[in-house]
Amino acid sequence: MTSQTPHGSAPQDYQVFDAATLPANDNVNPYAFSVDLDGQWFLQKGKMIAYYGQIDFHGIGHGRLDRLVAGSFHSPLHAADWVVAEGRGKLLLADRAFDINSFDLEEGNLTVRSGNLLAFDPALSLKQSIIPGFLTLIGTGKFVAASNGEVHFVEPPVRVDPQALVGWADCPSPCHHYDHQYMRGVMGGVRAMTGLGGASGEEHQFEFVGAGTVLIQSTEMLLEDRATGQVPHQAGVPGDGSGGAGGPGGQLPGQLGGLQRRLGL
């Protein structure tokens, strides 16, 4: 317990920021980020909490932003969730009091869960990952992401819990890993399907190999996914719903194959 004197927390002890003292492209506190805007930035709808200066917000659609969108956005359909902030000033971003981190990419690439990405510099280009629900940023520039609890950086080889995964940089895409000892056979199938018989909830991980960095958050509470747009309905394109291996009705990522198939029926 830390105890303060009764006068220890007078309002003048709180730091009061103004247009000049707000940090430039840095965190104000772990939950709010200040962008020094001179030009344009992309941000997710509804994440601006305050700003100084002259800034306009435009929904993304047809018009004079077309060229910018074409250059930095490669999925026309999920553009509806994004806004372009344009002008000069200091812009404060926050997301439901989640932890906020900024990342600098230098001629790099980073794939992040769609719900975690908050804002990015248009010098980067945003593309849909072939893994459903993830987005990939490519190029050089800064972006801001939210996470539930602090972000930790780990290096492959590593296996991570699916709900704790925020994203990964520079390494090949992950694959599913199952605890085979536990999942094998009829009982394993029953356990996995029903949770009966003592499933630990940790039979399935994402496995990363190769060189790069994996970003994990400190809880297993996911941030709500944002639509990433549809992918073309084409043979060979994962995630278009007409999937090859999933069979009729499709299959959620991470879900196990049907019980019949496990039993070889």
Partner 1 sequence: MAQFRLQGTKVLAATLGGGGDTVKAKNGSMVAYDGEMAFKKLSGGGDGVRGMVTRRLTGEQMTVMEVKGQGTCYFADRASDISLVRLAGEKLHVEASNLLCTDGGLRTGTTFTGLRGASQGNGLFTTSVEGTGWAAVMSDGPAVLLRVTRDTPLQVDPGAYVAHQGDLRQSFQSGVNFRTFMGEGSGESFQVRFEGDGVVYVQPSERNTLGGDV
Residue 121 engages partner 1 in binding (rule: CB under 8 A):
no
Closest distance of CB 72 from partner 1, Å: 17
Closest distance of CB 23 from partner 1, Å: 11
233: left (phi over 0), alpha (psi -120 to 50) or beta: beta
Closest distance of CB 241 from partner 1, Å: 24
Closest distance of CB 46 from partner 1, Å: 5
Q: Give 86 or 240: the residue with its C-beta nearer to partner 1.
A: 86
Residue 194 engages partner 1 in binding (rule: CB under 8 A):
no
- Contact map string, positions 58 to 87, toward partner 1, x by CB under 8 A: xxxx------------------x--x-x--
Q: Give 92 or 158: the residue with its C-beta nearer to partner 1.
A: 92
Closest distance of CB 45 from partner 1, Å: 3
Residue 115 engages partner 1 in binding (rule: CB under 8 A):
no
Q: Give 90 or 204: the residue with its C-beta nearer to partner 1.
A: 90
Residue 31 engages partner 1 in binding (rule: CB under 8 A):
yes
Question: Is 81:227 a contact under the CB 8 Å cutoff?
Answer: yes
Residue 160 engages partner 1 in binding (rule: CB under 8 A):
no
Please identify which residue in 48, 135, 164, 171 interacts with partner 1, judged by CB under 8 A.
48
Closest distance of CB 140 from partner 1, Å: 27
Quick one: tokens of 156?
Answer: 């492959």
Pairing, β 32-44 against β 158-160: unpaired
Residue 235 engages partner 1 in binding (rule: CB under 8 A):
no
Q: 1 to 20, contacts with partner 1 by CB under 8 A?
A: 1-6, 8-11, 14-19
For partner 1, how many residues bind (rule: CB under 8 A)?
A: 46
Q: Give 12 or 234: the residue with its C-beta nearer to partner 1.
A: 12
Residue 150 engages partner 1 in binding (rule: CB under 8 A):
no
Measuring CA to CA, how many Å separate 249 from each of 8, 38, 144, 240, 242?
Answer: 62, 48, 36, 12, 9
How many angstroms separate the CA atoms of 40 and 120, rounded?
Answer: 10
State the burial class of residue 230 (Cβ atoms within 10 Å of its Cβ: 0-12, 13-18, 19+): middle
At 132, which amino acid appears? P
Q: Which residues contact 14 (CB under 8 A, 6 or more apart)?
A: none
Measuring CA to CA, how many Å separate 11 from each of 14, 15, 156?
Answer: 5, 8, 46
Which chain residues interact with partner 1 by CB under 8 A? 1-6, 8-11, 14-19, 22, 28-29, 31-32, 44-46, 48-53, 55-61, 80, 83, 85, 92, 94-97, 100
